[in-house]
Amino acid sequence: MSAVDRCVTIVSHTFGHLRIYSLTPPKYQRYRVILIEPYESIPHYLSLKIAFRAFKYLYKPLEANIELRIRSSRFKNIAPLKLAYSVYPLSLFALPFFLANYEPNWQGLVAYIDYSGDEASIYSSAIVVRRGSRLGTQKPTAFVVIVNDPWNKLTDKRDVDTLFKLVWRFTITTLKSYLKNVMIPDSLQTPRRKFTVLVRLLPKRETEYLEIRVPEAHDVITLKIPVKSPEWSVDDIPSKLREDLLTIVIRPLIQKANYAPRGVLIVGPPGVGKTVTAEAIASALNLRIAEIRPSLYRSMWYGMTEKFLEYTLKTLKRRHDIVVLLDDVDFLLGRHVSVHETHISEITILLRYLQEPQRPLVIMTTNAPELLDAAIIRPGRIDVTVVMGYPDKEMRRVIALKCAKRYGIEIDDSLLDTIVKITRWFTNAEIDALIRLAASKGEGKITEESLAWARQKFNVNERWRKSIQDQLRWFGENFQGILIKYVPKDTEVE
């Protein structure tokens, strides 16, 4: 006997091209599921897979607001009617399970929204209520929304509120057509949102590979260098740094001026946004990023490492649609500290490459500039050095706001003040982690208490960091060459 046979269908009602079912979940007889579905809705294995992925989060709810991104190259080609079927298993199994175990007195709402056209359209939705409770008198506690968003239109997780209103209005208006006496107070137009799972169906991120063919004896070995689009933009970097970067690096490069820099080195302690800054530069230049990692070209065979690197760089010589990124370049030990013959050859090859007049922009990042070969940072090779230190109060505020927005968490000014105060000498990465931790503790909301709790999980040695900041300042003052500096003073940090 299939699960469908075991449910009791009370009503099947048609409404335009929709059908309304009232079902009893097989295992949870105390609940009633009212499902609105287009008649042509058909199961597809992907719709079941999506439902299963979302179910996993309802099965063990840890955080209040989850954003789940599922990427596939197929979403665009599958009819929404097929994907909309995912609402069925979620409403019949997952939501009743969640309610019975975690929120027995509340109700749940689930919907499938297609956002591949100009406007978001709801294909199917379902509401799970306790038997005997009146429809539309209570805000749902669990809200699962599956959005097919091939053009990435949902940029802000706070859009969930808008989606909720849309689904809520659609569901209730449709239901009214068959339950004549439903009245919905306006206060129910925002979710109680104890637990929201936003499932976004996105196209697979296109990572292109640059194929590098290296002839070897009678064979050809192919290396693959991933090329990706930057995820951060110049708006994400500290404003003090942004101005200088625009003037010294970005604008001259856009104008293809002959005085434009040809390489940028970004120096700073772990987690202060070096990789973010590198991506932001690429994004401002509208270029993609080819990252060269030692794992891609280093070989255990004698002489092969050099050969692989030479061929890689040769392939990257005339690509003007990319930026070459050497992230955490500490693997390239300078000749003054290196004893390994292969590593010395690597540097020599790289120095020669950096000298090439036609090559694309090269960006390097490092924690330990003293380990780099001095010849790298020479005008004509890497012309501009950016030093980044621990963020000041203003930047910490920007980062906290940005992170909260990314996770769909609301924070008011007074909470923001607290965050700025308690994250003295934090790195950008630690601020991000603090926000996530506090949100987990507060089940999706950040409060003074959850912040205080989260803060205790971090061990930040202020004296140590102050001295790193001093060293960075010293590095900046003694640096020979073009320098862009973001090293806030102690008073700006504290």
Ligand X SMILES: Nc1ncnc2c1ncn2[C@@H]1O[C@H](COP(=O)(O)OP(=O)(O)OP(=O)(O)O)[C@@H](O)[C@H]1O
Separation CA 69–CA 457 (nearest Å): 28
- In this complex, which beta carbon is closest to ligand X, that of residue 101 or of residue 239? 239
Identify the H or E element spanning 418. helix 413-422
Q: Which stretch binds Mg ion (CB under 5 A): 97-105, 272-280, 330-338, 429-437?
A: 272-280
Q: What is the DSSP string of 422-473?
A: HTTT--HHHHHHHHHHHHHHTTT---HHHHHHHHTT----HHHHHHHHHHHH
Pick from 90, 109, 399, 409: which binds ligand X (CB under 6 A)? 399
Q: According to the binding rule CB under 5 A, does residue 428 interact with Mg ion?
A: no
Write down the least CB distance from residue 273 to ligand X, Å: 3
Residue 272 interacts with which of ligand X, Mg ion, none, CB < 5 to 8 Å by class: ligand X
Place of tokens 């599956």: 146
Residue 399 interacts with which of Mg ion, ligand X, none, CB < 5 to 8 Å by class: ligand X
Give start and end residues of each alpha helix (H) in 256-293: 274-284
- In this complex, which beta carbon is closest to ligand X, that of residue 128 or of residue 398? 398
Q: Which stretch binds Mg ion (CB under 5 A): 2-10, 166-174, 275-283, 424-432?
A: 275-283
Separation CA 146–CA 197 (nearest Å): 8
Separation CA 396–CA 400 (nearest Å): 6
**What 8-state DSSP symbol labels residue 160?**
H
Number of neighbours of residue 185 by Cβ within 10 angstroms: 9
Q: According to the binding rule CB under 5 A, does residue 275 interact with Mg ion?
A: yes
- In this complex, which beta carbon is closest to ligand X, that of residue 418 or of residue 428? 428
- Count the site residues for ligand X by CB under 6 A: 19
List the x/- string, 109-148, binding to ligand X by CB under 6 A.
----------------------------------------
Pairing of strands 18-23, 31-38: antiparallel
Q: According to the binding rule CB under 6 A, does residue 432 interact with ligand X?
A: yes
Nearest residue relative to Mg ion (C-beta): 275
Residue 188 interacts with which of Mg ion, ligand X, none, CB < 5 to 8 Å by class: none
Q: Which stretch binds ligand X (CB under 6 A): 8-16, 98-106, 207-215, 427-435?
A: 427-435
Pick from 273, 360, 369, 444: which binds ligand X (CB under 6 A)? 273
Cα dihedral 303/304/306/312 (nearest 10): 160
Q: Which of residues 278-337 bind ligand X (CB under 6 A)?
A: 328
Q: According to the binding rule CB under 6 A, does residue 428 interact with ligand X?
A: yes
Answer whether 121's CB lies under 8 Å from 38's CB: no
Q: According to the binding rule CB under 6 A, does residue 270 interact with ligand X?
A: yes
Pick from 22, 275, 450, 469: which binds ligand X (CB under 6 A)? 275
Separation CA 152–CA 279 (nearest Å): 19
Comparing CA positions, the residue from 410, 435, 409 lying closest to residue 422 is 435
* Chain residues in the site for ligand X (CB under 6 A): 236-237, 268, 270-276, 328, 365, 367, 399, 402-403, 428-429, 432
